[in-house]
Amino acid sequence: MITYIGTPKLETERLLLEKFELNDAQKVFDHWISDERVTDNRVSAAHTAVSQKVERVANIVSQYEKEDFCYWAVKLKDSGELIGEIDLYDFNEATGNCEVSYSLGYQWWNQGYGTEALRAVIEFGFRHMNLHKIAAAHNTDNPASGRIMSKAGMVQEGIVRDMIRNSKGQYKDCAIYGILEGEYFSRGDESLCGNKDL
């Protein structure tokens, strides 16, 4: 059975993962949600007005009272700079499975932050939520996200054709990744948390 404990603060070598606040909306807009280099890899379109993101962040903040809501702002530990977001979602009580997704601002790509944040959330899911499996997907034309998943211990399980249709009406094939609780602990993946090798 899944143990829900909301969105507690998580800490890695270089990052703090904590709850969003209402005043984060401008930075979310500036740092990634208005940038097509980032949003081309998301189902939702780039936001063209800060007001759109204010509404979205307000919706996120309003859900933190729910114990089954796990949605983190990703911040640099040394400066407090908001660089991205990561969440666990689509929990299945029957299987103990869920999914994870993340986005980082373009200027913080290829510095290992995605891997570091994903490892922390995977560790949280298995150690504290009693999850059985955590899955993720990335567009096949975005292999960098697949490298993040692999370095966090996830294994590619297949490709789903035309899995999503983005905001431009383009269908995208997606690579599906997953990691099982048993794999995580048997491989000692918890010791990888905080590495910055991507």
Lowest mean pLDDT among 19-23, 156-160, 165-169: 165-169
Single out the residue of 118, 169, 117, 177 nearest to residue 142, CA to CA.
177
What is the pLDDT at residue 105?
86
Residue 197 is assigned to a structural domain of this protein: no
**CATH code, domain with 111:** 3.40.630.30
Report whether pLDDT(193) > 80: no
Residue 2 lies inside a defined structural domain of this protein: no
pLDDT of 88 over the 90 cut: yes
**pLDDT for the residue 38:** 57
| Residue 1 maps to a domain | no
Q: Are 153 and 192 in contact (CB under 8 A)?
A: yes
- Per DSSP (E only), the strands in 10-169 are 10-11, 15-18, 70-76, 82-92, 97-104, 133-139, 155-165
**Nearest-angstrom CA–CA distance, 140 and 127:** 30
Task: Evaluate if residue 8 carries a pLDDT over 70.
Answer: yes
Written as one letter, the residue type at 12 is T
Number of folded domains in the chain?
A: 1
Handedness of CA 11, 184, 108, 28 (dihedral sign): negative
Residue 125 lies inside a defined structural domain of this protein? yes
Task: State how far the Cα of 146 lies from the Cα of 77, in Å rounded to an integer.
Answer: 25
- For residue 3, is it within any domain? no
| Model confidence at 103: pLDDT above 60 | yes
User: What local confidence, expressed as pLDDT, does residue 50 receive?
Assistant: 59
Query: If pLDDT is split at 50, 70 and 90, which confidence band does 106 have?
Result: confident
Q: What is the pLDDT of residues 114-152, one digit of tens each?
A: 999 999 999 999 999 999 999 999 999 889 999 999 999
Which residue in 77, 61, 81 sits closest to 69, CA to CA? 61
| 54 or 185: which leads in pLDDT | 185
Boundaries of domain holding 137:
10-192
- Cα–Cα distance between 144 and 41 in angstroms, integer? 11
* Residue 186 domain flag: yes
Q: What is the pLDDT of residues 172-184, one digit of tens each?
A: 899 999 999 999 9
